[in-house]
Amino acid sequence: MTTLSKSKQDVYVTVGRRKRATARVRLTQGSGNITVNDKAVEVYCYSDDLYNTAVAPLKEVDMLKDVDITVRVSGGGPNGQSVAISHGIARALQKMNADHRAPLKKAGFIKRDPRQKERKKVGQPGARKKFQFSKR
């Protein structure tokens, strides 16, 4: 009988979502390298707000320099993608160590934001906007 040898380094794979954005996250123990679509996270998340949003779960549990993260993100816009990255990282950290769940949940990183774009209605120019009413 052959036994499968477990690798020295555990890989935690999760998915994070926000609006139309989907981020597939691979987290391993390492030295703090974070790549998003083969670019450094600082380059991909070009503004400070987007960068801080993406790495917020790591800062919450003080693991910014302890893990290597590879992310594939698609769909949505820059803000939705950064929140999707954050959601995926939080799920991976929780999978890695169950003790991280409490601070991540308290900070609001575990729950997916359920808000979606409302569909356009028939006979209206948008989801809620109406054409101007004329009595005569």
The pLDDT of residue 136 is: 84
3-state secondary structure of 2: coil
The pLDDT of residue 4 is: 52
The pLDDT of residue 2 is: 56
Q: pTM surpassing 0.75?
A: yes
Angle between helices 48-60 and 78-96 in degrees, nearest 10 = 10
The pLDDT of residue 59 is: 92
pLDDT tens over the chain, length 136 residues: 555 545 567 899 999 999 999 999 999 998 989 999 999 999 999 999 999 999 999 999 998 898 999 999 999 999 999 999 999 999 999 999 999 999 999 999 999 999 999 999 999 999 999 999 999 8
The structural domains of the chain, ordered by start, are 12-107 (3.30.230.10)
